[in-house]
Amino acid sequence: MQIRIASVMVENQDVALRFYTTILGFVKSKDISMGQYRWLTVSSPEGAEGVELLLEPTGFPPAQTYQKALFAAGIPATVFMTKDVRAEFQRLKGLGVNFRGEPKAMGPITAVLFEDTCGNLINLVQPTS
């Protein structure tokens, strides 16, 4: 068994695609019309081959409630790993990304939360060893 697709809920797929590709540097993988919405995925050039992030629309009212509750509680929707959290923090901050503080050492990781402009918090993490 493998994990090939993970998803984050997004308020607007076009806004999400712009943020995830233009700001984060991911590349569009799939863009398939599915009626009102799309099967829209991105992947990381630095990530494992074949692993995609689905930009899942929040068209279902309970999904909107769940996403907003996570955001309000400060709970990340997902985690992105990096080899240098401080350098990535500076790069993204320079591109206007809104962070919830500075990178902080927490046991075996250094981490910082950022907003993805689509209703989610993302935890940016660097393992310390």
Do 2 and 55 share a domain, yes or no? yes
Please indicate, yes or no, whether residues 87 and 53 belong to a single structural domain of this protein: no
Q: Burial of 108 by CB count in 10 Å (0-12 exposed, 13-18 middle, 19+ buried)? A: exposed
pLDDT at 94: 98
Q: CATH number for the domain including 34? A: 3.10.180.10
| Stated pTM of the model | 0.93
- Tell me: the pLDDT tens digits for 41-91? 999 999 889 999 999 999 989 999 999 999 999 999 999 999 999 999 999
Q: Residue 102: which domain range?
A: 68-129
Buried b (16+ CB within 10 A) or exposed e, 56-78: bbbeeeeeeeebeebbeeeebbe
Lookup: tokens for 6: 């993970």
Q: Give the chain's domain count.
A: 2
Task: Give CA separation, 127 vs 51, 76, 84, 86, 112, in Å.
Answer: 20, 17, 9, 12, 12
Average pLDDT estimate for 114-120: 96
Are 3 and 50 in a shared domain?
A: yes
Q: 55 with 72, same domain?
A: no
Q: What is the CA radius of gyration of the chain?
A: 15
Kindly state whether residues 53 and 73 are assigned to the same domain: no
Is residue 49 domain-shared with residue 90, that is, in the same domain? no
Q: Are residues 52 and 78 in the same domain?
A: no
Residue where a domain terminates, one of 59, 78, 106? 59
pLDDT value for 5: 96
**CA 36 to CA 119: how far, in whole Å?**
20
